[in-house]
Amino acid sequence: MTWTWFHRLASPPYVYALAARLTPWFAWPAALLIVGGLWGGLVLAPPDYQQGDGFRIIYVHAPSAWMSLMVYTTMAVAAAVGLIWRIKVAHAVAASCAPIGASFTFAALVTGALWGEPMWGTYWEWDPRLTSELILLFLYLGYMGLRAGIEDTQRADRASALLAVVGVVNVPIIHYSVTWWNSLHQAPSVMRLSRPAMPSSMLLPLLMMLLGFTLYFVAVLLVRLRSEVLARERSASWIREAVSA
């Protein structure tokens, strides 16, 4: 097995150019999937037999919650790679993830509150799922605050990477919180071992939204990654090419 692809992915000029080339390939399918998912979720899917049209919040809540966890996991893995192999590009990926993940964690909490009020009778409860998701938001904010507080990028990379890696224990806690503890929050209805607990007219738009948000994340990440890679380069001559292009 050859590792050249790995080494190339650690090279800033290569990554900068590759990220620019790949962005539209993720952005356009993401846009189509999200528009299709919105149409399917808001118009085509039938109302829920218990929750009526209130259940349609799932089409924005579940993708936001999925983003909050998936982006954090990506950030922690990239941070670990950066720490272990001392790869600048990996640190740049981790740093790019944080604002995206933080904003979708915020969206997951707000949409969850808006779903909780009509269904549970409360916007907020100190429930295991809700509390661990709020801790995730604080982890993201702590990560960003730590980075902002350290002037030297290399030191900021290492310190924040450590926080990201340690904080990853919260991810399985959030996911399994509804199984481990008594929670107001419902148990997983899509990401479970048996078949999803939904008819396909409800499920398909949800899957489109989940995939659409994932591709959208990659597209936004690629734009942010170029910015982080550029900020880390001090003396490389390719910068001239990069900024003149």
Partner 1 sequence: MRAFLDMGGYAAFVWPAYLVTLTVVVLNIVWARRALSRSRADARRRLDRRGGEP
What are the residues binding partner 1 (CB under 8 A)? 34, 42-43, 47, 52-54, 56-57, 60-61, 63-64, 99-100, 103-104, 106-107, 110-111, 114-115, 117-118, 216, 220, 223-224, 226-228, 230-231, 233-237, 239-240, 242-243
Give the number of other CB atoms < 10 A from CB of residue 66: 19
Smallest distance, partner 1 to C-beta of residue 169, A = 26
Of 66 and 165, CB closest to partner 1 = 66
52 pairs with which residues across the strands?
Answer: 48
| Closest to 181 measured CA to CA, from 125, 129, 224, 221 | 129
Of 108 and 164, CB closest to partner 1 = 108
Q: Which amino acid is at 110?
A: V
Smallest distance, partner 1 to C-beta of residue 20, A = 10
Of 57 and 79, CB closest to partner 1 = 57
Q: Say how far apart CA 40 and CA 34 lie, in whole Å.
A: 10
Q: Say how far apart CA 182 and CA 138 lie, in whole Å.
A: 23
Tokens of 120: 């549970």
Instruction: Cite the DSSP H helix spans in 44-127.
Output: 58-85, 88-120
Answer whether 204's CB lies under 8 Å from 57's CB: no
Of 54 and 142, CB closest to partner 1 = 54
Smallest distance, partner 1 to C-beta of residue 198, A = 18
Tokens of 75: 């950030």
Smallest distance, partner 1 to C-beta of residue 173, A = 24
Of 58 and 83, CB closest to partner 1 = 58
Smallest distance, partner 1 to C-beta of residue 195, A = 27
